[in-house]
């Protein structure tokens, strides 16, 4: 039961940390506003807005704006590769707990059953309470392991899907920024 308690504490800690992470980076229509500023040639205002935010999308777009002359696509790709591990931080640990907790519970049940059968071999079949009490106690480990896994599985899937949606959003806005910058460059070329 001690390893299951450790798994439980670790999973609750990770779940709280991930909720706080996603709560802090939420941004409402800021990527859209950022692209509008770039389209209006308000590059400095766009950079200031992007630098203040914690949203990975805005960070990637800011890198693209800063490197708009040489190669914004490569700069944004490198920035996105740096942001993705932050979004998925600790999720492998949560995934391991989801897999490990039921196995630890089963291990506890098996060792409890071994103890119960040891008692049965010493006391004989004449004392069913000693055996059934040990078996019931052993099954608590399985129930606890399953509970820990189930309680960690739902947040794990939620955070994983949230990360995937954010990665798609990064790709979408990075592509849109590339188009805006390309159009700006073409307009500047035609003006000369």
Short-list 37, 162, 153, CA closest to 89:
162
pLDDT of residue 30: 86
For residue 13, the tally of other CB atoms under 10 A from its CB is 12
Residues in the chain, total: 192
Name the nearest CA neighbour of 32 among 163, 167, 172: 172
H/E element, 122 = helix 91-123
Structure pTM? 0.83
pLDDT for 112-141, tens place per residue? 888 777 777 776 666 666 667 677 777 899
In the chain, pLDDT over 70 holds for what percent of residues? 93
Q: What is the pLDDT of residue 127?
A: 67
CA-nearest of 179, 189, 155, 161 to 73 is 179
Using an 8 Å Cβ cutoff, are 90 and 17 in contact?
A: yes
Range of weakest confidence among 71-75, 100-104, 184-188: 184-188
pLDDT of residue 77 exceeding 90: yes
Higher-confidence residue: 24 or 117?
24
């Amino acid at each position: 039961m001690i390893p299951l308690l450790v798994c439980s504490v670790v999973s609750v800690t990770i779940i709280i940390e991930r909720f706080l992470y996603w709560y802090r980076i939420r941004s409402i229509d800021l990527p859209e506003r950022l692209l509008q500023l770039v389209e209006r040639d308000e590059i400095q205002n766009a950079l200031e807005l992007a630098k203040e935010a914690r949203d990975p999308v805005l960070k990637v777009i800011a890198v693209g704006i800063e490197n708009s002359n040489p190669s914004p696509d490569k700069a944004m790709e490198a920035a996105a590769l740096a942001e993705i591990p932050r979004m998925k931080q600790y999720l492998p640990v949560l995934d391991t707990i989801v897999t490990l907790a039921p196995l630890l519970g089963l291990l506890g049940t098996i060792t409890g059953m071994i103890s119960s059968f040891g008692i049965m071999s010493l006391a004989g079949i004449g004392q069913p309470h000693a055996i059934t009490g040990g078996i019931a106690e052993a099954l608590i480990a399985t129930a606890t392991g399953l509970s820990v896994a189930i309680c960690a599985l739902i947040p794990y899937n939620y955070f994983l899907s949230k990360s995937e949606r954010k990665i798609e959003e990064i790709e979408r806005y990075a592509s849109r920024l590339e188009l805006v910058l390309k159009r700006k460059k073409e307009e500047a070329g035609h003006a000369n």
